[in-house]
Amino acid sequence: MKAAEVKENEGQRLQALLETALLDTEPEVSFDELVELASEICQTPIALVSLVDAERQWFKARKGLTAPETERSISFCGHAIHEQKIFIVEDAQADERFYDNPLVVGDPKLRFYAGAVLKTPDNFAIGTLCVIDHQPRSLSPAQERALEILAHQVTQLIELRKSNLKLREHMQTLVAQTQIISRQQQELIVSAELAALGKMAAGIAHEINNPLAVIQGRAFQLRRSLQSGTLEPAHMIKGFEYIESMCLRIGKIIRGLRAFARDAAQDPQQDELLQRIIEETIDLCGERFRASHIELRVAGDLHLTLSCRRTQISQVLLNLLNNAHDAIEGLEQKWVEIEVRSLPHFVQIRVTDSGSGIPEPVVRHMMEPFFTTKDVGRGTGLGLSIAKGIVESHDGQFRYDGSGPHTCFVVELPFQGPATLSEEPSHPAGNLDTE
């Protein structure tokens, strides 16, 4: 018996075979069908897709043979891979290279062999598509050609499979990267929310600080008068009343803050008086406006009732008021107006500030999450996008109106009808003094 020789490019050839990622994989229908076709066309009981590994030939697809692999040293395919054309042994018993081959002498009692080589695009012969018979025989030219064509199909299939695997690897990398990005985005949102919370806490601290300072001042005055014996009952009562009203005010601010501290997105919508929503919002930022000498005006039909999630609408207005505050703080003319207009099927709330409009490049991006023109740490860039989301979740519309001489944001909310609530508003419409 003559064992097939091993060529000098064997290392590269084995590498090319390894790269197909075919060895020891499960059977696949597309390969099985091709061996079936080869056996049909060539009229042989056995057909194989055989891959010639270092020490063995392993069958990716096989018909008529149960062994999954055989030794390379006794393989016919080991010879076939060195041929340029189809390798045919018409009668193995009459061939000096194979007559005593264990595959000829013993099972599967091979007599006829025809193998068309499988070549990678780099021209490495990694195996064969072969047909085998127990009888000596030959192939017609048409059968030979068909076997070559089918072998070509097998190599195409191998390449396709390789690209698919690569594609799947890329997809997996892509999915992993997307997961990392979305995790980072979540972390960014959490830190942005924390920053927003920090900013709000600073604002609220300001709101509470002022009445606290007033309480401290009054208490000091009362103690001094008491110590010096000049405290008159009427003066004392007035002082305590003032302290009481400041405590009420702080209580209101804290109630507003507690409402903000929870996520109201899942709350049901309720009938709410617009005036109450606006007042509660101003309670949370009025001091800041006053400290910056910004006039805060409220106008229009405040006695309307809206079906909404009150805290959320208040959050929208607070975002708009804070944005307006930041935009006009340094201007000479400083005013902000909240105007309520009642239209046939919706209520329009316009928040206008004394600024002269927003530049077009900012307008184009300002509703996007994380877009801000403010310094690092001063703005998260989430305000407008959150406000828009909230208004849209109420089936309303949120937009910037650049048609007038001043900066104006418009909130439109569906409106069912005139007010029915009996609750008396504590502030009249007009100039809202927060004290």
Position among 384, 390, 411, 432 found at the interface with ligand ATP (CB under 6 A): 384
- Cβ proximity to ligand ATP: between 42 and 324 the closer is 324
Residue 122 CB, shortest distance to Mg ion, in Å, is: 60
d(CA 220, CA 226): 10
Site string for Mg ion, 162-191 (x = CB under 5 A): ------------------------------
Q: Which residue is nearest to ligand ATP (CB)?
A: 383
* CA 425 – CA 276 distance, rounded (Å): 7
CB 195 within 8 A of CB 380: yes
Which tokens in the block code for residue 32? 């099985």
34 secondary structure, DSSP code: H
For ligand ATP, the binding residues in 24-83 under the rule CB under 6 A are none
125-133 and 112-119 as β-strands: parallel, antiparallel, unpaired?
Answer: antiparallel
If the CB atoms of residues 105 and 192 are measured against Mg ion, the closer one turns out to be 192
Does the protein bind Mg ion through residue 383 (CB under 5 A)? yes
Binding segment toward Mg ion, per CB under 5 A, in 163-171, 229-237, 341-349, 377-385: 377-385
Contact present, 87 and 114 (Cβ < 8 Å): yes
Task: Choose the stretch contacting ligand ATP; rule: CB under 6 A; options: 11-19, 60-68, 286-294, 353-361.
Answer: 353-361
| Residue in 418, 422, 413 with CA at minimum distance from that of residue 269 | 413
How would you classify the pairing of strands 295-300 and 125-133?
unpaired
HEC letters along 250-277: HHHHHHHHHHHHCCCCCCCCEEEEHHHH
Residue 381 is a binding residue for ligand ATP (CB under 6 A): yes
Contact pattern from residue 309 through residue 348 relative to ligand ATP, giving x for each residue in contact according to CB under 6 A and a dash for the rest: ----------x---xx--x---------------------
- Please give the size of the binding site for ligand ATP, defined by CB under 6 A: 23
Name the binder of 391 from Mg ion, ligand ATP, none, CB < 5-8 A by kind. Answer: none
Check if the beta carbon of residue 320 is closer than 8 Å to that of residue 277.
no
- Contact mark string toward ligand ATP, 130..149, x via CB under 6 A: --------------------
Minimal distance, residue 199 CB to Mg ion, in Å: 9
The string of DSSP codes covering 405-433 is: SSEEEEEEEE--SS----PPPSS-SEE--
Can residue 374 be called a binding residue for ligand ATP (CB under 6 A)?
yes
Name every residue whose Cβ is closer than 8 Å to that of residue 305 and which is 6 or more positions away in sequence.
Answer: 271, 272, 273, 274, 416, 417, 418, 419, 420, 421
Residue nearer to ligand ATP on the CB measure, 238 or 374: 374
DSSP 96: T
Helix (H) or strand (E) holding 356: none
Contacts (CB under 5 A) with Mg ion, residues 316-335:
323
> Among 51, 204, 215, 358, which residue sits at the site for ligand ATP (rule: CB under 6 A)?
358
> Closer CB to ligand ATP, residue 346 or residue 400?
400
What are the C-alpha distances in Å from 20 to residues 54, 57, 60, 164, 428?
Answer: 15, 15, 12, 11, 81
> Which part of the chain contacts ligand ATP (CB under 6 A), choosing from 121-129, 303-311, 375-383, 425-433?
375-383
Contact string 59-88 vs Mg ion (x = CB under 5 A) = ------------------------------
User: What is d(CA 288, CA 280) in angstroms, rounded to the nearest whole number?
Assistant: 14
Restricting to residues 179-208, which ones interact with ligand ATP according to CB under 6 A? Answer: 196, 199
Nearest one of 76, 185, 52 to 127, comparing CA atoms: 52
Question: Counting contacts by CB under 6 A, is residue 352 touching ligand ATP?
Answer: no
- Nearer of residues 323 and 352 to Mg ion, judged by Cβ: 323
- For residue 407, state whether it binds ligand ATP (rule: CB under 6 A): yes
The reply on whether position 143 binds Mg ion by CB under 5 A is no
Contacts of 159 (CB under 8 A, 6+ apart): 120, 121
Instruction: Give the interface with ligand ATP as residue ranges (CB under 6 A).
Output: 196, 199, 319, 323-324, 327, 353, 355, 358, 362, 366, 371-374, 379-385, 407
Instruction: Give the interface with Mg ion as residue ranges (CB under 5 A).
Output: 323, 383
